[in-house]
Amino acid sequence: MSRLTGQNILLGITAGVAAYKTPALVRALRAEGAEINVVMSANAHKFVTPTALQAVSGHPVRDDLWDPNAEASMGHIELARWADQILIAPATANCVAALAQGQAYDLLSTLCLATDARVLIAPAMNQGMYLHPATQRNLATLKTFGYVVIDPDHGEQACGEFGPGRLPDPNDLIAALDQPTLADQAVSVLQDLNVMITAGPTREAIDPVRFISNHSSGVQGLSLAEVANAAGARVTLIAGPGVPACSAEISRYDVTSAMDMHAIVHELLADIDLFIGVAAVADYRVAQAAAQKIKKHTSSDEHLDLRLIENPDIIASVVDSAHEPVVVGFAAETQDTLKHAREKRLRKGLHAIVVNDVSDASIGFNSPDNATTFICDNEEVFFERQSKQEMANKLLQQIAETLGTELATRKSGHLKSE
């Protein structure tokens, strides 16, 4: 069952060309089980008709703050209370500017001021307008209000120009609505925190065409980075090969080998408050990778020996560094998972460790789901199987609750230095 099943979604549509795509978005949201009400800006009907939106939503479309029938029952407040989430798609530059200034000049802007619901903004406009410093400043302001800004797609635009500003595909907008959110207490801990997260596998070269690696997808680390970023943390993501794309606000560094990852982690570690080591780093590398492709032996009784040497332990080296961030490690185990994780946490001196059983294919490296146990000095908390996006939310919530005092001390220290 979709997490959106039974949710009340208010879709705000402003006067951008991309508004013509919104009936398909409404249809897709209803297929997810959501209840949809649509509110249009004054000129949005020039790009899509209220009749079409009413047909697919099953509800009358609202566009007038001064509708006497609706306002007899304070309709704008009623809708503000009805919504679980508000998505404005497309959001024009004018809409973004008005919301950033706290204006309430029409029904949609009034709803956004009156609601306690989660508000998501999907800017869609000419690439020059999107990249203009005023628009970027306004989007940054909206994030400080707790609004979620969905990055636009790049590509050819209706005006013939090419760049960022296209409305994302309905599936991407639905994924943003489906993203779990953190409680206020966790957001207050994470906001303005400097967080570094490692994600994905490493590749250790054997020769120019072969390497040693593992099945890690990097999705759990990426999900943690996205949730921390949405909570207002300043996130640095160190990503191994194959880790999917992340939000533009995240400072991302792509690496290949364990030595590469170790080097960039320590290069950027100075101001980090919270380090979360999720990456499945190879324990060993080939002592001397061949400069040319190793040829297959012609005789069936011949064999190839590879001499392996140990890679540096990145998480342990972060604990031992002079910068002393709060450190949370991950452990992927296949047997005696809790026993090995407890030993690893104590041996490496971690504030906490998160362990999962990768021998279970349903929660293994390439599964979209995960089940974990969070282990620290005073407690062990088990999180049942759920999506890696939901797991990121639960784990950051737990980190904020368990390690909040240490993190607050770190944050107050770097904020004073700024």
The structure tokens listed for 50 are 């209220």
Token readout for 88 is 């404005």
CA 48/CA 27 separation, integer angstroms: 14
Active site residue 112: no
CA separation for the pair 350, 391 (Å, rounded): 20
Closest alpha carbon to 89 in 128, 131, 53, 60:
53
CB within 8 A of 287, min separation 6: which ones?
307, 308, 309
Q: Which of 95, 112, 159, 246 is catalytic?
A: 159
Nearest of 375, 411, 412, 378 to residue 395 by alpha carbon: 375
Spatial CA neighbour of 88 closest among 115, 70, 66, 65: 115
**CA neighbor of 82 nearest in space, from 90, 67, 93, 70:** 70
Please state, in angstroms and rounded to a whole number, the distance separating the CA atoms of residues 191 and 231.
Answer: 6
Rama region for 65: left / alpha / beta (φ>0; ψ in -120 to 50; rest): alpha
Pairing of strands 210-212, 234-239: unpaired
How are beta strands 204-207 and 284-286 bridged, if at all?
A: unpaired
Catalytic residue list = 159
